[in-house]
Structure 1
Amino acid sequence: MSTVEESIDVDVPVRVVYDQWATFEDFPQFMEGVEEVRQLDDRHAHWRTKIAGLSREFDTEIVERVPEERVAWRTTGESVKHTGTVDFEPLGAARTRVRMTMAFQPTGLAEKAADKLGMLDRQVRGDLRRFKRFIEDRGTGSGPRPASGGG
Structure 2
Amino acid sequence: MSTIEKQIDVDVPAEVAWDCLHSVESYPRFVDGVREARPQGKSRAHLDLEPGGRLSGVDTEISDRAKGGEKGNVMLWHTAKGESAELKGAFTVRSIDAQHTQVQVRVEYDPEKTREAFGGPKGFAQSDAIQELVQHDLEKFKDLVEHKR
* Interval containing the TM-score (normalised by the shorter chain): 0.7 to 0.9
Distance 1:109 1:28, change over 3 A: closer
Question: Are 1:51 and 2:51 an aligned pair?
Answer: yes
Q: What TM-score comes out, normalization by structure 1 length?
A: 0.83
Question: Are 1:84 and 2:89 an aligned pair?
Answer: yes
Question: Are 1:113 and 2:111 an aligned pair?
Answer: no
Counterparts of 1:59 and 1:4, CA distance in 2: 21
Runs of 4+ in 1 over 3 A off after TM superposition: 109-112
After TM superposition, give the deviation of residue 113 of structure 1 in Å.
Answer: 1.9
After TM superposition, give the deviation of residue 109 of structure 1 in Å.
Answer: 8.9
Contact 2:8/2:102, CA 8 A, preserved across alignment: yes
The structure showing larger relative contact order (alpha-carbon pairs under 8 Å, at least 6 residues apart) is: 1
For structure 1, the residue ranges without an aligned partner over 5 or more in a row are: 140-151
Counterparts of 2:64 and 2:123, CA distance in 1: 26
For structure 2, the residue ranges without an aligned partner over 5 or more in a row are: none
Tell me how many residue pairs correspond in the alignment.
Answer: 139
Counterparts of 1:8 and 1:123, CA distance in 2: 14
Amino acid at match of 2:57: E
Contact 2:52/2:119, CA 8 A, preserved across alignment: no
Q: Quote the sequence identity (%).
A: 31
Q: Tell me the SS of whatever aligns to 2:12.
A: coil
After TM superposition, give the deviation of residue 70 of structure 1 in Å.
Answer: 1.1
Amino acid at match of 1:85: A
Give the alignment's Cα RMSD to 1 decimal.
2.0
Contact 1:63/1:74, CA 8 A, preserved across alignment: no
Within 5 Å, which residues of 2 pair with 1:84-103? 84-103=89-108
Counterparts of 1:45 and 1:115, CA distance in 2: 29
1:51-77 CA distance string (max 9 Å, x none)? 233433111111334276110011112
